[in-house]
Chain A
C-alpha cells in the first residue's frame, strides 16, 4: 500500500499561485474558497519584501492540506466523516459531515473551509460585486471543474462538483486523479517544477530520495501532527543579500499557523 506525500521546493517556488488556481478550477471551488494558498512569509501583502532595506528577501509558502499522519482533524471529528485512508490521504466524506466545524478549529494549518451557502451564490455575489453585466456564466448551465462525483472503494463521497451546503471541505491531494494514477493538479500545473508527489513508503520513489537527501522541514513539527507535506529548503539561497536564511526559517515557523 502506498503512502502518498508531497514535497514542495521553496527554492523553486516563485509565488505565482498557479497551484492555487489550477486547484480551484479542477476542484470546482467558488469565489471565496481556496484549498491551497500561497503567501510571502512575513509580508502583509503577497510579493512584497521582508527584511531591512536593502537586504530584502521574499520566500513564498504554498500551503495545501498537510495530510498529517497524526491528523488532529481526524481525532476531533465526532462522526468519522474525516478519516485517513489507507494510502495516507486525509479525506472528508461529504455525506457524513454534519458541519460542526470542530475539525476547522483543530487544524493548525487553517486549510479547512466551510460551505456556508450553495456555491452558486458565491459566484453570483462575486460577479455582482465586480460589476459584470450579469451575475452568472454566459453559458447558464456551465460549471468549471472535474465533472464527476468520486467515491472511495467503500463508497464514501469524497469529491463532487456540486458541493453540499453545510459541509467542511479541503484539499484532497486531488483524490479523483490520484485514484486514476495521476498526480494532483497542483503538481502537474506547477510551472516552476517545485512539487514532487509520490509514495513515501517506497524508498526508491523520487520523493523518498529527495526527502532523504535534501534539507527538509515540515510545518509545526512541535505539534506532532506528522505532516506528509515536506518543504525543501532552498539550498542555494542560504546566503542571500545579507540575510541569513535561518532567520527566515524562524519567521516561517511563526507564520505557519497564521495563514
Chain B
C-alpha cells in the first residue's frame, strides 16, 4: 500500500514535534523520573560553518553533560538543525586541551612552553608591549583579526571595537581563508547572495558544481532530498564523486577547474537554440548595453553626440557611483540611456547586430551590444564539440559528453526554477572568478533570479553581516583601518610590477605589521603562508602575538600571551549568519570554566590598560564607554579600588555588557531587525524582516520583482563602495576596467587551470593536483581535536586518491604516504577511492600540525593572486584572495 510522497511528507514533517509531545509515550512512563536536577539552556552552535544551529545544553550540577538540537525553528522543516560536530562539542569544552588560565610564553615561539599567570599580569604585560609598539611604529602596526563575524556580533565585535578605539589595522579573515567568490562583486556588485536552504526544496532543478553540501551543510542536506521527493532533479558536476553526487540524480565528472568551459557550453546550447529569456536579459543585465569596438569599453552616454547633454543632466541627479550607458531601442529606432537607478524598461533594446555611433568630437565608432559580443565569443569557442574536449575526463567519453552538454543545456533552460550551487572548492582556483561569471550567466540567460527556488548560491565565504553594526563595532564612530593578510605575508607580490600597475587603493601600514592580536582562529597552521607567519614569529619581525582561544590549538604555541576565552555555552552573544535568516542568542548554560572569561571583558581590559600605558588623556576619559553602559565599567573599577573585585563579579558585568551590546545593535539596526528584542531572542530564534514574501531569503528579490538597481547593499560596506562595481545598476557580464581588457576577460571565458600558475613545477616534477576539501568531522580547524570525531576517522588524517594513481606509485590502501612539492609536505594514510579524479589528490583540511607529524598541510600551497583582485579594495568583498586548489604535487609512500 502506498500514499503519494507528498502526503507522506506532510505527516513525516509534523512527525518530529508531534512525537515529542505525543501522549503515546505517557504509557511508557516509569515511576522513576529523576530529571528534576537537569535544566536545559538554549544557545547557538557557532563555529565557522556558519550553520548557526540552535542547541539545548543539558546542564547537571553546573556542567553540560550532553547537547541536543533545540529544534525550535518556526518552519518545521528546519528542525532539527545541528550535526555530529555540534552534538559532541562537550569534548572541546571539557577536553584535555581546554585552557584554564592566562599564559605567558617562556620558551621559544612554537615550542609551547608557558607560565601560568594571573589576569592582571597577563593583561598588563600585553598592554605594556602593545603600547610600546603603538608608540614606536604607529597604532596601525598592530593588526587584529576575527573569523566570520556573523557567528558572534558581540564578542567578535568587541575585538573590532577595540581595534577601532586604538586605531589598529584589521585583517579581514576573507583574505586568510581564501574563499572569496570574486564573481559576486564582479557580476552583481555584492559580497555574496544565496537561497536559504529551506528554499532548496522549491527548486525543480539543482545544479551543484564542485560543492559537497552533504558534508559541509549537514543540517541543510535534507532539503536536497526534499527537492527530489517533490519531483526536482539534482545534478552534481564535480571532478570527484562525492556523497553529494551520491545523493543526486546524475554525476557529471569533469576535469578539474574546467567549469567555465562546461557552463559556456551550456550557454552555447541556450543561445543557439534560442532558449534564453530575452526579456530578463534585456531588463536586468548589461548585455544590451553598447560596447565600443575601438577601445573595448562600454559606450558612455556622455561621449555620444546628441546624448551628452541628457547624460550630464542625468548624472547630476544620480549617485556618483553610477554611469550612464547606451542601448539602441528597436521601437523608437534611436539610442536610449537606460536609467541605472530603475530597471523598469520602456524601451526594447537591440541585442544583436552592429551600429555606428558618432561621438561628441565627431569621430565615428563601431559599437555592438554586449550580447552580440557574448554570442560571438560563445559560438566561436564553446560548441559542445570543443567543450567536450576540455571537460571530458577521458578521450573515450568525448562523444558522450557532447550529447550530455546538449541535454543539460536544454534541461536547465526549460526546467524552472533552477538553482546553481557553486562550491568553494571550485572557486578556490586562480580562475575561480571566471567560472562563477559563467555560471551566473546561466541563471541570467534562463531568468532564474529573484524567485522562490531560483538563483545561484555560494555557501562559503559569506562574510557579510546582516545589518549595520557600527553602534557596537566602532568605538564612538571611529572608522576602521585595514591591512591584507596576503599582502602582508607576500612581500614579493606587494613589490611586483603587476601590483604597482593595478593597485589603486589597497592600504598598507607604513611601518609594516609588528603585532598580531587575534581570536577564533588558528593562523599558524590553518592558512596560506602559515609557514611565513611562523618565520616572522621566529625571526622576530613579528614582535608580539596575542591570542584569545579556549583551547590549546596550534597557534597558542606560537603566541606570547594567551588570554583564555570561552565557548558559546559560557557567554551571551548575538548570532546572525548569512546561511539562514534567523537572529539568535548564545546564552550561558554554565559559568565560564576555570579562569576563562568572555572576550568582551578581555577586550575591555586591554583597552583600558593600553590607554593607561599610552598616556592619551583624551582616550583615557572616553574608555569607560567601552562597555555600552559606562556604569558597568565604573562599577568594576570601584570594586577593584575597594578590593572587592572577583571573577564572578567581572563575569556578571561582562554578561550584562554583552546583552547591552546586543541590544544596541538591534535597536540601531534599522528595518531588518525592527521589533526584534532580546526578550524574544531569549526564547528562541527570530526571523529577520526580509523584504520578501514570508520573509524568505531569496536571491535579488527586490531587483527582479521591484526593479531596484543592482547591487543590494552588502553590510558592513556602504553602498557607494560596492555599487561602483556595477556602475550600470545591472548584472554585469561585460567588464571594461583595464585589467579585464588586458587579461582578455571582459566576458566570461574559459581559461585552463595551472597554466598561469603552477605550470612549470607541474610539468617538471609534480603532475598531480592537491585539493584540500572540508571534512565531515571538523569545521576547518575546530573539532580537529574532538576525540569522538577522531575516532570516526580511525584516529588519523587520510588522503583520498584514485586506485590507478596509487598503483602507479606502489601505494596500497591504508599506506602512510607523503604528499609533497618543493614548498612543503604533509603526511596522511591512503584511501583508494575510484570516484576521485585520477589527476587529483584529495586531502582533508583542518588538521592541526600535531596530527601531521608537525607539518602544516598549507605549506604546499602558494597564494597566487590574480590581478583582477587588486583593482579595488573593499575589505572582505573585493581584495586579494588565495586559491587553495591551484597547487601541483606528487605523492609517494612514506
Q: Which residues of chain A have a CB within 8 Å of any CB of chain B?
A: 1-2, 4, 11-12, 14-18, 20-22, 24-26, 31-32, 44-45, 47-49, 53-54, 56-59, 87, 123, 126-127, 129-139, 142-148, 150-153, 178-183, 185, 187-193, 196-199, 202, 205-206, 209-210, 212-214, 235-236, 240-241
Contacts and interface: CB of A to CB of B under 8 A. Distances in A.
Interface in B874-891: none
Given A138-B98, A179-B28, A190 B80 contact: yes
- Nearest 3 pairs between A and B by C-beta? A181-B25, A58-B246, A138-B98
Q: For chain B, what secondary structure do more than half of its interface residues adopt (helix, strand, loop), or is it mixed?
A: mixed
B222 A192 contact: yes
Contacts of B792: 17, 20-21
Contacts of A123: 787
Contact of A142 (B94, B100, B788): B94
A150 B61 CA distance: 18
Contact of A191 (B80, B97, B251): B80
B791 interface: yes
B27 interface: yes
B253 A178 contact: no
Nearest to A57: B246
B541 to A, nearest CB: 29
Given A16-B83, A241-B250, A241-B251, 15 more contacts: A18-B83, A21-B84, A21-B792, A25-B87, A25-B88, A59-B246, A129-B795, A135-B96, A136-B96, A182-B20, A183-B20, A187-B16, A188-B80, A212-B1, A213-B2
A123 B96 CA distance: 11
27 contacts: A20-B84, A21-B87, A25-B87, A25-B788, A56-B245, A56-B246, A130-B787, A130-B795, A131-B851, A132-B96, A133-B552, A138-B94, A139-B98, A143-B65, A144-B90, A146-B66, A147-B60, A185-B68, A188-B20, A188-B80, A189-B69, A190-B80, A191-B82, A191-B221, A191-B222, A193-B13, A214-B2
A126 B786 CA distance: 11
Nearest to A127: B96
Contact of A14 (B221, B552, B795): B221
A28 B251 CA distance: 40
A245 B335 CA distance: 60
B32 interface: yes
Contacts of B8: 210, 213-214
Contacts of B28: 2, 4, 87, 178-179, 181
B243 A181 contact: no
B646 interface: no
A138 B3 CA distance: 53
B24 A2 contact: yes
A205 B24 contact: yes
B25 A49 contact: no
B850 interface: yes
A91 to B, nearest CB: 12
Contacts of A152: 30
Contact of B243 (A47, A132, A133, A134): A47
Contact of A183 (B19, B83, B831): B19
Contacts of B74: none
Contact of B833 (A49, A143, A183): A49
Contacts of A17: 84, 776, 792
B790 interface: yes
Contacts of A178: 25, 28
A143 B66 CA distance: 10
A114 B821 CA distance: 46
Interface residues of B, number: 91
Interface in B20-48: 20, 22, 24-35, 37-38
B96 A21 contact: no
Interface string B180-224: 000000000000000000000000000000000011001101100
Given A31-B787, A139-B98, A188 B69 contact: yes
Contacts of A205: 24
Contacts of B593: 138-139
B57 to A, nearest CB: 12
Contacts of B813: 44
Contacts of B82: 18, 189, 191
B172 interface: no
A190 B84 CA distance: 9
B785 interface: yes
A126 B87 contact: no
A181 B96 contact: no
B814 to A, nearest CB: 9
A137 B95 contact: yes
Contacts of A202: 24
Contacts of A144: 65-66, 90-91, 94
B682 interface: no
A206 to B, nearest CB: 5
Interface string B779-797: 0000001011011100100
B5 A147 contact: no
A12 B66 contact: no
B249 interface: yes
Contacts of A47: 243, 776
B594 interface: yes
B38 A147 contact: yes
